[in-house]
A and B are shown apart, each in its own frame.
Chain A
Amino acid sequence: MISSRAVSGVLLGLGGLAGTLLDGVPPRPPLYRGGLQVLAADFHVHSFSADGALPPWELVLEARRRGLDAFAITNHAQVWAAKLGRWFSRRIGGPTVLVGEEITSWDYHLIAVGIEASVPWNQPATEAIEEVHRQGGVAIAAHPVAISWPAFEEAIDTLDGSEVLHPLVHVSPGGRPGLSAFYERGRSRGRPFAAVGSSDYHFGAGLGASRTYVFVRENRPASILESLRAGRTVVFDEEGVAHGDPALAALLESDPLPAESRPDRATVPSRAAGICGWLGLAGLVLLRSTRSRRGVASSAVR
């Protein structure tokens, strides 16, 4: 007699095999507008070992699936996982990984991109930004809703940009107006101020769902950081409204980029593979093994 667990294992194996075979990513040719390469990037991503679910190397592969050209791993209070992701990405030919950190203080969260050492959180935002700049990095206000504005009051003049699109806009009524108002304040200071769209990825399907289009000379960390400092970014918000450098936004509006690469889960083979794998997992958990049934039977006989 075939055990129900064995059937579950076979289903899981088949689902896994099909899921793996369907996991190919089509090549993405580089895109250019106005003489610059346009990169799809996500600068706020968490990995395993902090409060993210995927290890850094899996983030690199998931970024490929999601059509990202570059992303920053920005764990709280550590940079070693980001360095591991960068190493892995270089081994397999991209996407470009930038080493970063989400500096998490009591009253502000700050994304540091392009750093090499963790920045202490127990200091005012201005000093944290200074340290990020000293390391050659870029400082971006993370999800700056109204509650964090006082902490950025002085720091706004030294920030390089702020998140204008973040998952908060989908779940919090104060999200969209807060992020937009802060970005407009930063932009009104008369110096470059990058608009950034980030997924604040921890787990699930959202990596790169909120993304930043960065106009760079080449897809290398130094060039990406230079473009962020110069504010050469465009973000399309959830209603398709462009934020960022007006000239670059106009370029993308007149000559739009191809549709964002998003794995199509709705195809029949993909859904069948997913359902097969899920049923296998469910069977392993919910069905009894034949061995334990025999055990119960023999115990009943005794």
Chain B
Amino acid sequence: MSAWAPELRVVLRPVSGYRELALEAEGRGEWLLLQRPLIHALLLGGFLSLVTTGRVVLPLALSTTVCWAFVPALQVAVVSAVTKLLRARPFPTPRLVDLYFAGNLPWSLWLLALSGTVVFLPSETPGLPLPSPGSLFPASLLAAALLSQVLTFGFFRGALGLTIPRSLAGLALHDALLWGSIALFFLLSDQLWPRLFGKIGI
């Protein structure tokens, strides 16, 4: 039995990894529903504390964990909505959420890698948020986003057993709801609107 988290298996073989994971008994209940989203929220808080101070400062980490918990909460809402819309609910919600979050590893690795650069290369580049991010920052962000797409597809295809077209539809719906909600917030709060539409005067 490997000591590594099942997320790693899913990263290496998204569809078959998810298929195997779905067959494993993982229990039920609130803890299963909360476990991975909570770890992800905690990772966000810990990441922000590390990149800000170079350490995990408990009040800072907890405070940012609470603030940024809306991200995993939104993900839970989105995956519940998408599976309902697709009528693809082979598992109870806690199991479904737990499986879905197993595909969050690209973002988790990205956060760990960025905070790792701060912890292991502590010299600050004056004026910049991270030590010498250069072109690595956008490139790694893009890589994490692309891998995350593959894993979300793997979730629909491998864990939920949907056909390829329905899995692609699920992925599109998932992205539209998740990123659409975030974009909508920035649009409606006038933070993005002027940059996108200000030129044409609307």
The interface size of chain B toward A, counting residues with CB under 8 Å, comes to 64
CB distance from A48 to the nearest CB of B (A): 5
Cα separation A278 to B115 with both chains bound (whole Å) = 8
Output the least CB separation between B139 and chain A (Å): 15
Find out whether the CB atom of A55 lies under 8 angstroms from the CB atom of B64. Answer: yes
The answer to the question of B58 belonging to the interface, with a C-beta cut-off of 8 Å to chain A, is yes
Contact for A54 among B4, B52, B109, B198, CB less than 8 A = B52
A299 to B49, CA, bound (A): 39
The residue that A292 contacts in the complex, of B26, B53, B55, with Cβ under 8 A, is B26
Complex CA–CA separation, A18 to B61 (angstroms): 13
Residues of B close to A170: CB separation below 8 A: 125-128
B8 at the interface (CB under 8 A from A): yes
List, in ascending order, chain A residues with CB within 8 A of B122's CB.
Answer: 265-266, 270-271, 274
Partner of B57, one of A19, A167, A265, A281: A19
Q: Does B3 contact A (CB under 8 A)?
A: yes
Give the interface segment out of B39-47, B78-86, B141-149, B166-174. Answer: B39-47
Chain B residues with Cβ below 8 Å from A169 are 127
* Contact indicator A203/B194 (Cβ below 8 Å): no
Residues of chain A at interface, number, CB under 8 A: 76
Q: How far is the CB of B124 from chain A (nearest CB, A)?
A: 5
What are 28 A-B contacts defined by CB distance under 8 Å? A19-B56, A19-B58, A23-B55, A53-B68, A54-B48, A55-B67, A58-B52, A58-B64, A106-B195, A121-B194, A165-B127, A170-B128, A204-B51, A205-B52, A209-B126, A263-B54, A265-B53, A266-B123, A270-B122, A274-B118, A285-B108, A288-B2, A291-B27, A292-B26, A293-B3, A295-B24, A295-B27, A298-B25
Q: Can you add 20 more A-B contacts, CB < 8 Å, to A76-B190, A122-B194, A296-B24?
A: A15-B55, A16-B61, A48-B68, A76-B189, A77-B191, A106-B198, A107-B199, A204-B52, A238-B126, A265-B54, A273-B56, A281-B42, A281-B50, A285-B108, A286-B4, A286-B7, A287-B4, A292-B24, A296-B25, A302-B25
Q: Give A contacts to B, CB under 8 Å.
A: 4, 12, 15-20, 22-23, 48, 50-51, 53-55, 57-58, 61-62, 65, 75-78, 104-107, 121-122, 165-167, 169-171, 199, 201-206, 209-210, 238, 262-263, 265-266, 270-271, 273-275, 277-278, 280-282, 284-289, 291-293, 295-299, 302
